[in-house]
Amino acid sequence: MTVLSAIAHSRLADLVGPQRVITDPAQLVPYEVDAMRPSAALRPESIAQISEIVKFAVSEKLAIVATSGRTKLNIGLPPRHYDLALDMSSLRKIIAYDPGDLTLSVEAGIPLAALGHVLAEHRQFLPLAVPYHSQTTVGGAIASGVDGPLRQLYGIARDFLLGIEFVTGEGVPAKSGGRVVKNVTGYDIHKLMIGALGTLGVITRLNFKTFPLPIQSRGFVARFPSAQQACEMPSRIARSPLAPMTTEILSPGVTELFESEAASQIASDPMPANVLSPAEWAVSVGFAGNEKARNRYLSDLQRIAEECGGHGFLVQEKSLAAAFARKREFVPIALAFSPAATIIKINILPSKLNDAFAAAQKTAEANSLQWAALARGLGIIYLALLPAASDDENRQRVLNATNAIHEACANLGGQSTIPWCPTPWKKNLKIWGPGNLDLSQMQKIKNVFDPQGVLSPGRFVGGI
Amino acid sequence: MKPELLRDLKSLLGDSAVLHRPEELLLYEYDGSVEIARPTCVVFPSTTAHVQRIMQLANQYQTPIVGRGAGTGLSGGALARNGGILAVFSHMNRILNIDIENQRATVQPGVVNSDLSAAVAHAGLHFAPDPSSQKACTIGGNVSENSGGPHTLAYGVTTNHTLSLEAVLPSGELVRIGSSPLDPTGYDLMGLFVGSEGTLALITEITVKLTRLPETVKTLLAVFETLDDATETVVDITARGITPAACEMLDGWTLRAVEAYVHAGFPLDCAAVLLLEVDGLKEVAEQHAEDVAEICRNHHAREVRVARDARERDLLWKGRKNAFGAVGRLSPTYYVQDGVIPRTKLPVTLRRIDEIGKKYGFQIGNIFHAGNGNLHPLILFDARDPEQFRRVIAASDEIIKFCIEMGGSITGEHGVGMEKDRLMPLLFTDAELDVMRRVRDAFNPAGILNPDKIFPTKKGCGEIHVRPLPQSSVPAGFRNA
């Protein structure tokens, strides 16, 4: 950490007010990113202030990381520099909400949970079922680009984010998209901001499509002796007329994770007994609708499960919230479970899910690592490697395993990254994948939005 | 154009794949909009290597180059505004791969939208974006314009169904962006390229998602005595949390024009109809059909017809999809708009459009995607009369400004192109347009690819040259939204 000059401090105090500049080292601890501590944290109250702060950072060559809930800051590489934390939590207003139009405009720092309560009053919601749900903000959910179980039916943020306002790396307030549900006016810059880890702009406002809350949700779980049988079930559902809200495949190792003390600390409701088995693979399917539709789902899912060689059952209604919370919070649970949990995200065609599971299992076992995997039926696997300690031996094992998995995924036509691992391991592991990506087009984008490199420098793919 | 460029193009593609005589170029002056711009030559590449080489030649001779699919676009996106090479992709029309298991297809850009759906129908799949021109328009064009269509209300527009692209950058460099698996690592370049209106790259290959055909489809026609009843029905359906697969509105005047042409059995004496479709699982679609019918009746629908079979359903849709063609029979020219408004503002906006029509003395027909607030007012006029043309632009601007006041946007699916570039400052500040321009310049630094599109130029509307359209040249359903 560099110490801010007295002149810089006084200028920042002028910009946001002295009580909104934090420089006390103890108070800066929560703003650390990968063990790097900023020189100051600022709590701006307006877009104009953010614009001025960024301009000041450009003139002083200071690096900024925008943050608010601070739950997903350890995704990506450590920043190359980190001088100022931009705490967005004071920008938390709902700018506009038109329930009749199912559209919403909010400031980036609004907590997802608080927003959820407002929408629920109108029997609506935003299908951003991202991990760290109770602490995350809307801006963080978008900047981190993390997905959630509901993508099976509702898609991901790019499917319902209508527009964005942001401040560029030169301090220019700008926007793209709009507030209406259909719009092709100008380039879709807002899509670039999703998952960019704040490297292209400071997100200040976001416009979304909202959705009616599903009525009478139900959960169905089927258990299978093998991964191959489990993988067959989502494939058959995709060929059926069913349109479930969620479809996840869970490895046997998830059972221990979800029944652990770590899980109960993160998702407080107890995990229902006998839903998962440590000896079997499971497929979990969520659906909703009127009574006729629910009965149809149940009978079709039961038939499909049997055709795939498994047996299925409805999750008790009182246990649904606990089961759903665990699926959503798979990553935080894994990180709490092991002192050196390493999460690999694998993107693969659905038909290759079984091959990817086989590679994961083989690699984990060859390196004597405990593991668990949760996969979306659409072809996204979160593979958790769960070493017992964060020592050098385990680091080497995880390094060997992740390199092998990167290679296996590439051979299967997929991609893999390591969104979460212990910070000291980031210099060893290939966080952004095996390095086979063409970064030149992405670098062009970065140069447009942040030519001086003041926004989260170095955290993104290839150190962008 | 330099004779050397023509020579090089002919030696690359063969004489038959290069057009340059004025009479050959005539067809390529037009698209589905009122804009006109003549290319200097038209070329038909057959391979990605051709496209790369053509791009290199455009650079070498510093000639503008513009991509084009079927030319059904509605904003002048595929017109050579400053002349130059028009690269037409109709020879690159092969479906390269169909992956039923993973519900994906890889196609060349010239594949016709409905041809892809037809090719995968046997597996119960389709390509969901369904612009009304889908029997002619190409998937390359859909990707460039981020096309919509009636059923995109529930299924999403082209960007929601496009996974990866192979494309030739203005530098001539061949790039692959996106990936067939979901969530490609890095910035969402797909999100940027889809809908960039041919200003960032020429697309040579596209991988798309295929969508399961619904088990049950229920199509309803609700007939209303007043426009307000119809629009308030739409507001209520949305507010009740029902997302129909499609929710289209035709006002009474348009309906009579359509009925005279298509004979779909539309009532002739009503103020408006809603064409509603609900689909999905049988149990869900049936419930939604009942709910929607009830909402229509609550808003004084005189009649709610439910199509009894596929034939009746097709007839109702034929009326909708051929509406623009039907209107084309009644007027030398029409100007179609594409503004979007929040759905709660439908009643007030339609009343305002009616007032604006009266103020300027134009008949305005309304046929549009009511379910997502995407209006298509059709202003009938005679473009041979410069005074009328001036007034139609004024009326149109007044409508667009009202849409923006309502919190809306200037284009929902037709694109900005060369038609609405001058309206961009109504939505974006100079600084915001500058950020977008810099995005374009990052990929298209010399501006040789599709110049003077999207961004406001100094060219005023006085330079838009409009000619009456020979009516015989408007095939039914082609000039459509």
Which of B124, B181, B344 is closest, CB to CB, to A348?
Answer: B181
Tell which of A212, A228, A243 closes a domain.
Answer: A212
Determine the residue of chain B that is closest to A291 in CA distance: B283
Model confidence band, residue A211 (pLDDT cutoffs 50, 70, 90): very high
Residues 262-281 of A with CB under 8 A from B: none
Here the tokens at position B27 are 């067809």
Q: Note whether B203 and B186 are same-domain residues.
A: yes
Judge whether A116 is closer than 8 Å to chain B, CB to CB.
no
The reported pLDDT for the residue numbered B105 is 98
| DSSP symbol at B470 | P
Q: Do B412 and A182 touch (CB under 8 A)?
A: yes
Judge whether A121 is closer than 8 Å to chain B, CB to CB.
no
Cα-to-chain-centroid distance, residue B201: 19
The whole-chain average pLDDT of chain A stands at 96
The whole-chain average pLDDT of chain B stands at 92
The domain that contains B353 carries what CATH number?
A: 3.30.70.2740
Residues 59-88 of A with CB under 8 A from B: none
Q: Note whether A117 and A201 are same-domain residues.
A: yes
CA distances from B109 to A140, B16, B42, B94, B451 (A): 37, 20, 17, 8, 21
CB pairs under 8 A between A and B: 233
Residue B461 has pLDDT above 70, yes or no: no
Residue A195 has pLDDT above 50, yes or no: yes
- The residue-averaged pLDDT of B176-184 equals 97
Residue B303 has pLDDT above 90, yes or no: yes
Residues 100-119 of B with CB under 8 A from A: 101-104
The reported pLDDT for the residue numbered B326 is 86
Q: Note whether A109 and A59 are same-domain residues.
A: no
- The residue-averaged pLDDT of B220-229 equals 96
Q: Note whether B99 and B202 are same-domain residues.
A: yes
pLDDT tens, B154-176?
999 999 999 999 999 999 999 99
The reported pLDDT for the residue numbered B474 is 39
The reported pLDDT for the residue numbered B9 is 98
Q: Domain count of chain B?
A: 4
Query: What are the start-end ranges of the H helices in B379-465?
Result: 386-405, 430-443
Judge whether A175 is closer than 8 Å to chain B, CB to CB.
yes
Residue B441 lies in a domain: no
Q: Do A445 and B442 touch (CB under 8 A)?
A: yes
Q: Do A189 and B238 touch (CB under 8 A)?
A: no
Residues of B in contact with A103 (CB under 8 A): 342
Q: Note whether B153 and B56 are same-domain residues.
A: no
The reported pLDDT for the residue numbered B162 is 98
pLDDT tens, A45-79?
999 999 999 999 999 999 999 999 999 999 999 99
Residue A15 lies in a domain: yes
Which of B182, B410, B412 is closest, CB to CB, to A378?
Answer: B182
The reported pLDDT for the residue numbered A182 is 95
Q: Say if residues A212 and B154 touch (Cβ distance below 8 Å).
A: no
Residue A63 lies in a domain: yes
The domain that contains B262 carries what CATH number?
A: 3.30.70.2190
Residue A441 lies in a domain: no
Residue B477 lies in a domain: no
Q: Say if residues B201 and B168 touch (Cβ distance below 8 Å).
A: yes
Here the tokens at position B286 are 């049936």
Q: Do A243 and B280 touch (CB under 8 A)?
A: yes
Residue B448 has pLDDT above 80, yes or no: yes
Residues of B in contact with A459 (CB under 8 A): none
Model confidence band, residue B324 (pLDDT cutoffs 50, 70, 90): confident
Q: Note whether B104 and B204 are same-domain residues.
A: yes
Range of the domain at A367: 338-427
Residues of B in contact with A155 (CB under 8 A): 156, 160
Whether ipTM tops 0.90, in short, is yes
Tell which of B40, B69, B90 closes a domain.
Answer: B90
Tell which of B90, B112, B135 closes a domain.
Answer: B90
Q: Do B180 and A413 touch (CB under 8 A)?
A: yes
Q: How far does the CA of residue A348 sit from the closest CA of chain B (Å)? A: 5
Residue with tokens 């002149």: A7
Tell which of A30, A62, A89 closes a domain.
Answer: A89
Q: Say if residues A67 and A87 touch (Cβ distance below 8 Å).
A: yes
- Following DSSP, what letter does each residue of B240-308 receive, concatenated? TT---SEEEEEEHHHHHHHHHHH-----SS-SEEEEEEEEESHHHHHHHHHHHHHHHHHTT-SEEEE--
Q: Note whether A382 and A396 are same-domain residues.
A: yes
Percent of chain A with pLDDT over 90: 95
Count how many Cα atoms sit within 13 Å of the Cα of residue A216 in the half-sphere of its side chain: 8
Closest CA to B250 of B311, B164, B322, B178: B322
Percent of chain A with pLDDT over 70: 100
Q: Do B281 and A155 touch (CB under 8 A)?
A: no
pLDDT tens, B72-84?
999 999 999 999 9
Q: Which residues pair with A380 in a beta bridge?
A: A347, A376
Q: Note whether B60 and B103 are same-domain residues.
A: no
Q: Note whether A289 and A314 are same-domain residues.
A: yes
Q: Say if residues B75 and B33 touch (Cβ distance below 8 Å).
A: yes
Q: Note whether A195 and A234 are same-domain residues.
A: no
Residue A453 lies in a domain: no
Classify B418 as helix, strand or coil. coil
Q: Note whether A207 and A100 are same-domain residues.
A: yes
- The residue-averaged pLDDT of B116-140 equals 97
Q: Do A100 and B179 touch (CB under 8 A)?
A: no
Residues 30-49 of A with CB under 8 A from B: none
Model confidence band, residue B383 (pLDDT cutoffs 50, 70, 90): confident
The domain that contains B124 carries what CATH number?
A: 3.30.465.10
Residue A275 lies in a domain: yes
- The residue-averaged pLDDT of A309-333 equals 95
Q: Which residues pair with A203 in a beta bridge?
A: A166
Q: Say if residues B133 and B477 touch (Cβ distance below 8 Å).
A: yes
pLDDT tens, B41-82?
999 999 999 999 999 999 999 999 999 999 999 999 999 999
- The residue-averaged pLDDT of B242-271 equals 92
Residue with tokens 């793209």: A176
Residue A440 lies in a domain: no
Classify B34 as helix, strand or coil. coil
The reported pLDDT for the residue numbered B33 is 87
Model confidence band, residue A124 (pLDDT cutoffs 50, 70, 90): very high
Q: Domain count of chain A?
A: 4
Residues of A in contact with B369 (CB under 8 A): 182
Residue A169 has pLDDT above 60, yes or no: yes
Judge whether B343 is closer than 8 Å to chain A, CB to CB.
yes
The answer for B459, left when phi > 0, alpha when psi is -120 to 50, beta otherwise, is beta
- The residue-averaged pLDDT of B127-143 equals 96
pLDDT tens, B385-443?
889 989 999 999 999 999 999 999 999 999 999 999 999 999 999 999 999 999 999 99
Residue A393 has pLDDT above 70, yes or no: yes
- The residue-averaged pLDDT of B137-148 equals 97
The domain that contains A410 carries what CATH number?
A: 3.30.70.2740
Model confidence band, residue A33 (pLDDT cutoffs 50, 70, 90): very high
Range of the domain at B366: 332-428+454-462
- The residue-averaged pLDDT of B454-462 equals 69
Judge whether A185 is closer than 8 Å to chain B, CB to CB.
yes
Q: Do B192 and A189 touch (CB under 8 A)?
A: yes
The reported pLDDT for the residue numbered B232 is 94
Q: Say if residues B371 and A102 touch (Cβ distance below 8 Å).
A: no
Residue B322 has pLDDT above 90, yes or no: no
